[in-house]
Amino acid sequence: MKTKTILLGVAGSIAAYKAAEIASQLVKRGFVVHVVMTASAAKLVTPITFQTLTRRPVVTGLFQEEAEMSPAHISLADAADLLLIAPATANIIAKLAHGLADDALSTVALATRAPVLVAPAMNGKMWEHPATRENVAILKKRGVHFIGPEKGRLACGYEGVGRLWNPDGIVERAAKLAA
């Protein structure tokens, strides 16, 4: 049986540190995990964290090439059994909804034909904004799966909907979709 490959997209939310736990759990379950980070995410959690957990190079730039994956964004998109974006910011959700591809993560997302699971994390006001709600509706109409966000205390100090879904739940949903 073929080992399943999950691309873990990490966007620039303060919840990016939780993506390390997600990567670790997926690897423990036997998945091949490749991480693609936005520039903002790499300011919050270093790529070396994910490289250590997955034992694979981390893609942080659109023109970053790995010897065995050239061009990386297309090779990874083709190899994916699932693209999981956790955390997904309002920015990456908007890019996905409108087909923008100006960084490694948005380009991989546009190129893959694998199922996509999005785990949003952002300020509650951003989550409830009509533009974000419309972008989520567009993506759901296209068959993109969503998990969360949860209600609770947000990094900005507000209470509301916007917290990243718990990593265990994200991993469980990703495992089912990648199967």
Distance CA 64, CA 35 (A): 13
Contact in structure between 145 and 118 (CB atoms under 8 Å): yes
Helix (H) or strand (E) holding 82: strand 82-88
Which residues, 6 or more positions from 137, have their beta carbon under 8 angstroms from its beta carbon?
Answer: none
Which of 156, 158, 159, 176 is the catalytic position? 156
3 in active site: no
In angstroms, the Cα distances linking 135 to 53, 86, 120 are 32, 17, 12
- Residues classed as catalytic: 156
